Structure 1
Amino acid sequence: MAGLIVRKDIDLVRERTDLKAVVEEYVTLRSAGVGSFKGLCPFHDERTPSFHIRPAVGTYHCFGCGEHGDVIAFLMALEHTTFTETVERLAERAGVELHYEDGGSGPDRQEVGRRRRLLEAHKIADELFVRALGSREAQTAREFLTDRGFTAEHAKHFGIGYAPQGWSNLHDELRRRGFTDDELRASGLVSEGQRGLYDRFRGRLMWPIRDMTGATIGFGARKLYEDDPGPKYLNTPESPLYKKSQVLYGIDLAKRSIAKKRQLVVVEGYTDVMAAHLAGVDTAVATCGTAFGAEHIKIVRRLISDDGTGGEVVFTFDGDEAGQNAALKAFDEDHRFLAKTFVAVEPSGMDPCDLRQHKGDEAVRALISSRRPLFEFAIRAGLKDYDLNTVEGRAGALRHAAPIVAGIKDSVLRPGYERELAGWLGLDPNDVRRAVAAAGRGRRAGERAGDRTQQRAERREAAEPAQSAEHVDQQPRVPLVVPVDPRDPTARRERESLEVVLQHPTLLSAEQWRAFYTSRFTVPQYAAVHAAVKRAGASGASPQHWVDAVRDAVPEEVGAVVSELAVRDIPARTEADVVRYCQDIMNRLFALQIQHQKEELLGRLQRLGLDGAHDEFVRLNEELMRLEARRRALRAED
């Protein structure tokens, strides 16, 4: 297992990564002044650009939604990858070799190279299948799409292709590209028989299955011809790239909407994902030939920020018995979510693809809107197994339903469903309440006696919010970020000086740095940034990592302030203007500090009075004169 990446390598990745080049893969940027660029924020909907980056300091900040950080934070937020995954991805892009702490090792270089080769093979296959969809042979594949209401543009959007008939179209192409037999076997794109390797997918409609970053890692293939002896749907087998228990079809297209809306809709098939997205349900994904399980839930929880403050997961299933069983299996995993879980079942049994085709986009949206809590569905589905006209049947139904109601996490909803259950069964509400309470005690006892490994995992998860709460308790009681009056000249001087120090630290002279360090800042968030600047300077932070060092040195709630100050536009059109502006701003800050010092000295003189010590009186006056001379000199420099 890899240890922590050493800090100097992380800094090197930041230094060698062009923030502008990375951001431009997602955002159209235009100039916003010397060394500054802006565009429409990728994190929220807006019409006027409020997303700013300053590549020289490696920082972005949105003045609309407050998103901020460096290139690593940018990719983590957009691609929903972990810190380590993001650094490793950027390191590969920048040609940086990573080292790891704690005796751990990073990804095996041979394994990384192998993975890269397999991804390249899938990219070639993807391109071949997409080209083939336009061929004369693929007429049946195109008709399949058309018959279900999908156009050529839709096919292009979802990357759909066609695997030509024949035994070695893809195999021969990959061999021509230099792939070895061992690489082809590992890819899952070929099968092996007595006569050697041959294409796994032949004469089928192809859906590319992509990971969170949009890289193709496998395929789902739909049977088109009656003489095809294979199954209706054929997926990529387990491979170094493709783990079906961890794959969700459509996650690459849906991830941003899922994160923004904190909603995920689980449908059953590839065409259902397409129909849902085209109908406006852009949070839809599907599993690939397996049930929705624990590994999928880990991915979903990260995307919807499943921290107990909201979010929902909606399962859609056919109305038949198989669909009902799938819904009940999903309910078995419900306890892994803090978010609310729902189920949406179309009464006539149509899936989202059929629904869109026969009743239109609005019907698909209405299906999702008609969702009902998954635990309610599980209760009602189970009641069908009992004869509620008999005492024995009602007792059995209560034994079935009481543990489900006891497992409802929302303490406000639980009593309501106790009353609902009493009505459905025709029983006394008090009897139902006692049965639910007893089931709850049994449930908790079972959890305590459960699998020890699972308990340890749950304790680790439970420890995270406790640590967060402890961290919060240690924060200062006084707010560190307060509203600032834009007309306040002191606050403006402090803000402008910090913008200069963060954006152009190399333009300050040694004398200016000494004066800045001894300055007194009065606005809480600016005082926190000023203190962080001093800590970063004392640690010897280099210009390349300057803003990161300052951001690391402030309390978390002030991090956005640092990013904002680091990207704010400076009123300068040329490099010479920048130099003059920085000089002027620092002089104004020092003049303000001199004014503060003079006011303090005058107060001390007044407190000294006529009977004060003569030497002290003279010393304070001399200090006042020195400060006034310095103030006039600064004004002359303006």
Structure 2
Amino acid sequence: MVGERRGRIRAADIATVRERSKIDEIVGEHLQLKRAGGGSLKGLCPFHDEKSPSFQVTPTRNLFHCLAGETGVLTENGTVPIRELAGKTIRVLNGSGGWVEAPFSAYGVQRLMRVTLTRNGRTKELHATDEHRWFVPSGALRQHRREKLTRDLRPGDRLSHSFPMSRVLNPATRPSPFGIGRGVVYGDGTRAGAGSIAVLYGEKDLELARYFDGCRSWTEERGTRYYGMPAYFKDERPALDEDASYLLGWLAGYFAADGCVAEDGDAILNSARQEDLEYVRVLCTRLGIGTFGVAKQTRMGIDGVMSDVFNVRFMTKGLPVSFFLLAHHRERHLARTKAHERENWVVQSVEWSDRVEEVYCAEVPGTHAFTLEDNILTGNCFGCGEGGDVISFVQKIDHLSFSEAVELLAGRAGVQLQYEDDGGRPTGAPNRAAAGQRARLVAANTAAADFYAAQLMTPDAAIARTFLAERGFDKQVALDFGCGFAPAGWDTLTKHLRQAGFSQEELELAGLSKQSSRGSYIDRFHRRLLWPIRDITGDVIGFGARKLADDDPGPKYLNTPETPLYKKSTVLYGVDRAKRDIARRHQAVVVEGYTDVMACHIAGVTTAVASCGTAFGAEHINVLRRLLMDQDEFRGEVVYCFDGDAAGQAAAMKTFAEDQRFVGQTFVTVEQEGRDPCELRQAHGDAAVRDLVARRVPLIAFVLKTTLAGYDLDTVEGRVQALEKAAPMVAGIKDHALRPAYARQLAGMLGNTDEAEVLAKVRAITGEDQPTRAPKRQKAPSRSADDAAFFIEREAVKAALQSPELAGPVFDAVPEAAWTHPDYAAIAAAVAAAGGAAAATVTGMAWLDLVRAHCDRESAQALLTALAVEPMMAPGEEVDSGYVQAVVARLQEMAAVRRVAAVKGKLQRMNPVESPDEYTRTFGQLVALEQEARSLRERAMGGLGR
């Protein structure tokens, strides 16, 4: 707070402040202004990253403004109109071919110019403001980029492009055989019953058959059909977050099925469905493979009907040879005659349009550029539309309320403000003492910061300089952050500030001095490394001090005590440096210490802040809400960065309780080796710190994963206990629309838990399914005979009791985990204890009595006689070994499906980046289980009439 609230400020005083505050002088403190003609000044917009100045100031009118534009943007999930990205932070492709986070916003109505472009016979139009920035290749080899504004573009200009860095040209990335098989089925397959088959003819049959080893096949004159693939091979495209080898394999298989390589080397994929090729373009973007746009042709089919056919052409330089599975495709690719593929769009014309509409802006760190549809590289800012007067400028630049901005400007201009109540009546004489006291305390802290910074360069401060150097901070960094050193003398600072004109009362009130046990006044800090702590306006309000000497009896960290300036519950270290980027990027990163903030900012994570001397709490959240503009219509993002040890996980769990205070999304990122950002930067460099933040996960997802890690999810008891613990967390999610999605995710993480069960549990906790009146108490539901598992298990035990000679080894091989009904499980165990069905030497009542003698479950004993005489449900008149084997295969297949669900849940809980070997082994286990389930399903098919 700049001043203490004493009613509203008189309108006449506000007018005086506005009149005496020169906007060119105020703005000039934040950016360099140059004359732009007509009495205006121009500079780089302080609210948006840009290279071409678009921020204009008109001193005579005391106003400022900047310009705008709009079009579609290339994201990791495909091309999205920029208007749909407004208010979101999205990963976009920058000018270096890397994916970076960038916030998007809408900024008012502007007039647009029309830019007409051509490439490879295609024409497209873009609309942008006249001062929007573009890039054109320059230099003898066109290896450089030169900026041009829209109005300066000329016919013939080639616009620069940007493509993602390749993930497939590394020889270690080979197409996954499993992915290839799935891709072939998607292109050249068909559904068959509950599964799918591959249909291969001619050359394809000869060269692609090896990807279907182990599958049942049927060869006919034209080719071969391969059976036994899951239905999703034909029905679904793979998820984009699969690993690169798997996605490359799927794409290669699909291309082998439906693609062709022209004589000149062009690689073209064809499809009757445009949505398939749009997905392929998104997939290629993920893999770093360039594509040209989807083209449409209308052709006459063999039935004489005209229909649309679509194709997409690949940029062949981004395709590895291993991508081409068919010999003639490889031969044409290697012998391609096209020397160059035109990647640049060429300007055909630029003219004013009649469009005047809402415009949008992306703010991209680093390269200050991002990529549009069809890989066109464009300038960082499509527009800002900022406007206002000197007061609103100070509000925006320093993130102050209107009253705070007026008070700050009044102090600069020497205007004494008067306050009044809602009726216009004065609220009393202004509190000059309070206003003067704050100014004096800020001045004392500022003088102390200068003193400590000078002391850091003295010989006595070598231990402090060493501390910083060991953590990767050099002299310039220490100066930038204002680091200082408190000397060993008892009253060195106190004497220095007294000589500078500050009273002892002021020094004590500021927390810089304290009274010793002898009654004299001494410095608060001795032999410590210090960080000046600033409020949001940049005023020094206190210090954080780190112990350096082993013989220092004090705590490791010591902070300024509570003062009129320093309130630890609201103070965030680094907020003065981070505030603008937090507001621009709509993201705040919360770390745990001073050196972590320093490391983050140096590494490029310029939205990092930390609490000082206390845990991050509710009032800190309110500070960030203000910076993030965290309202229902706009959702900012807070990323908590914790150590990977138990304490860090505990901190994340504690933070979840405060998560409900944000409307915006809350994320967490944890360094798995236990390093904080400072240590991570020392070990692996700046990029590792940026990557740590980029790997953030939703806080609720992290909390669920951490919670489930404490239970044995391989057991029914563990899953039930985990659900009881985790369901209230999902029920507590503030965004009601997210609850069903996280309930489904929780079901997947639990493995064998039904989604409907989890959803019902969550809704019961939230009261969404509560009836208007209390229902009658009901008994717990029993297993129904219509339940597939109930039916199959009952048939299996009937077979073992009535026809042990038919059930034989197949029944005895059923694992204990396959049984879900406790009575049937007890009977199966009794059969095993009696020697097993295969070894039964007696039948009829003698066999039944032998099994009963080994059955220790009373309810199961009661079932034995009924099951021994109940007819089996075989489709024919007689029960044969085929039916019994089909029943047992179906029982084992259902158990395998449950194991598949459990392994899928385990995969969901794993991070492939942090545990690549374990993830690969588990993925291989999943593939093997799915193949086992499929094989069992085929054995069961045909033998069951139900």
- The TM-score bracket by the shorter chain reads 0.5 to 0.7
Q: What residue in structure 1 maps to residue 394 of structure 2?
A: 75
SS at match of 1:277: helix
Whether 2:493 is the aligned partner of 1:167: answer: no
In 2, Cα distance between equivalents of 1:42 and 1:429: 49
Of 409, 417, 422, the residue aligned with 1:90 is: 409
Whether 2:58 is the aligned partner of 1:54: answer: yes
Letter of the structure 2 residue corresponding to residue 161 of structure 1: G
Of 132, 137, 141, the residue aligned with 2:455 is: 132
In 1, Cα distance between equivalents of 2:482 and 2:57: 32
How big is the shift at 1:410? 4.3
Distance 1:34 1:413, change over 3 A: closer
Q: What residue in structure 2 maps to residue 375 of structure 1?
A: 700
Whether 2:268 is the aligned partner of 1:264: answer: no
Whether contact under 8 Å (1:342, 1:372) holds in the other structure is yes
In 2, Cα distance between equivalents of 1:61 and 1:444: 54
Distance 1:126 1:6, change over 3 A: same
Whether 2:401 is the aligned partner of 1:397: answer: no
Whether contact under 8 Å (1:3, 1:106) holds in the other structure is no
Q: What residue in structure 1 maps to residue 554 of structure 2?
A: 230
How big is the shift at 1:322? 1.6
The higher radius of gyration belongs to 2
In 1, Cα distance between equivalents of 2:480 and 2:768: 51
Letter of the structure 1 residue corresponding to residue 480 of structure 2: H
Whether 2:8 is the aligned partner of 1:4: answer: yes
How big is the shift at 1:397? 2.1
Q: What residue in structure 2 maps to residue 149 of structure 1?
A: 472
In 1, Cα distance between equivalents of 2:45 and 2:756: 54
Whether contact under 8 Å (1:98, 1:106) holds in the other structure is no
In 2, Cα distance between equivalents of 1:338 and 1:6: 34
Relative contact order, CA 8 A, sep 6+: which one is greater? 1
Whether contact under 8 Å (1:277, 1:284) holds in the other structure is yes
Whether contact under 8 Å (2:419, 2:430) holds in the other structure is no
In 2, Cα distance between equivalents of 1:220 and 1:258: 23
Whether 2:749 is the aligned partner of 1:427: answer: no
Whether 2:613 is the aligned partner of 1:294: answer: no
Q: What residue in structure 2 maps to residue 22 of structure 1?
A: 26
SS at match of 2:441: helix
SS at match of 1:227: coil
Letter of the structure 1 residue corresponding to residue 19 of structure 2: E
Whether contact under 8 Å (2:635, 2:664) holds in the other structure is yes
Letter of the structure 2 residue corresponding to residue 177 of structure 1: A
Using structure 2 for the length normalisation, give the TM-score.
0.46
SS at match of 1:344: strand
Task: From the two aligned structures, give the one with the greater strand fraction.
Answer: 2
Q: What residue in structure 1 maps to residue 541 of structure 2?
A: 217
- Which runs of 5 or more structure 1 residues have no equivalent in the other structure? 446-638
Letter of the structure 2 residue corresponding to residue 259 of structure 1: A
How big is the shift at 1:389? 4.7
Q: What residue in structure 1 maps to residue 673 of structure 2?
A: 348
In 2, Cα distance between equivalents of 1:424 and 1:46: 44
Moved more, 388-397 or 86-95: 388-397
Whether contact under 8 Å (2:417, 2:430) holds in the other structure is no
How big is the shift at 1:333? 0.8
Q: CA deviation digits over 1:488-532, x for unaligned, max 9?
A: xxxxxxxxxxxxxxxxxxxxxxxxxxxxxxxxxxxxxxxxxxxxx
Letter of the structure 2 residue corresponding to residue 86 of structure 1: A
Whether 2:310 is the aligned partner of 1:306: answer: no
Q: CA deviation digits over 1:98-151, x for unaligned, max 9?
A: 122225468622111111111111011000011111111111111111111111
Counterparts of 1:473-484 in structure 2 under 5 Å? none
Q: CA deviation digits over 1:350-402, x for unaligned, max 9?
A: 00000000111111111111111101112222223444455444333222211
- TM-align CA RMSD: 1.9
Whether contact under 8 Å (2:40, 2:59) holds in the other structure is yes
In 2, Cα distance between equivalents of 1:43 and 1:416: 36
How big is the shift at 1:60? 1.3
Letter of the structure 2 residue corresponding to residue 282 of structure 1: T
How big is the shift at 1:191? 2.2
Q: What residue in structure 1 maps to residue 48 of structure 2?
A: 44
Whether contact under 8 Å (2:681, 2:688) holds in the other structure is yes
Whether contact under 8 Å (1:3, 1:105) holds in the other structure is no
Q: CA deviation digits over 1:588-613, x for unaligned, max 9?
A: xxxxxxxxxxxxxxxxxxxxxxxxxx
In 2, Cα distance between equivalents of 1:194 and 1:414: 59
Q: What residue in structure 2 maps to residue 496 of structure 1?
A: none
In 1, Cα distance between equivalents of 2:8 and 2:654: 37
Q: What residue in structure 1 maps to residue 371 of structure 2?
A: none
Distance 1:107 1:156, change over 3 A: farther
Letter of the structure 2 residue corresponding to residue 439 of structure 1: I
SS at match of 1:333: helix
Of 434, 442, 445, the residue aligned with 1:111 is: 434
SS at match of 2:767: helix
SS at match of 1:57: coil
Distance 1:443 1:77, change over 3 A: farther
Letter of the structure 2 residue corresponding to residue 108 of structure 1: N
Q: What residue in structure 1 maps to residue 762 of structure 2?
A: 436
In 2, Cα distance between equivalents of 1:108 and 1:404: 49
Moved more, 48-57 or 326-335: 48-57
Moved more, 159-168 or 98-107: 98-107
In 2, Cα distance between equivalents of 1:386 and 1:319: 19
Q: What residue in structure 1 maps to residue 511 of structure 2?
A: 188
In 1, Cα distance between equivalents of 2:501 and 2:620: 35
Q: What residue in structure 1 maps to residue 607 of structure 2?
A: 283
SS at match of 2:666: strand
Counterparts of 1:504-583 in structure 2 under 5 Å? none
Q: What residue in structure 2 maps to residue 244 of structure 1?
A: 568
Letter of the structure 1 residue corresponding to residue 640 of structure 2: F
How big is the shift at 1:49? 2.0
